[in-house]
Amino acid sequence: MIQEVEEKVVLIEGWARDGLSQQQIADNLGIGLSTLKKYRKKSVAIRTALKKGREVSDYHVENALYNAATGGNVQAMIFWLKNRKPSQWKDRKEAQEIELMRKELELRERKLRLEEEKLKDLKDKIFNINVNIVE
- The string of pLDDT tens digits covering residues 29-65 is 999 999 999 999 999 999 999 999 999 999 999 999 9
Q: What is the pLDDT of residue 125?
A: 83
Rounded to whole angstroms, the Cα distance separating 120 from 43 reads: 74
Overall pTM surpassing 0.85 (yes/no): no
The better pLDDT of the pair 119, 124 is held by 119
Angle, CA 20 vertex, CA 36 and CA 24 arms, to 5°: 45
Q: What is the pLDDT of residue 131?
A: 64
3-state helix, strand, coil in the chain (%, to 5): 85, 0, 15
Share of the chain above pLDDT 70, in %: 93
Q: How confident is the model at residue 69 (pLDDT cuts 50, 70, 90)?
A: very high
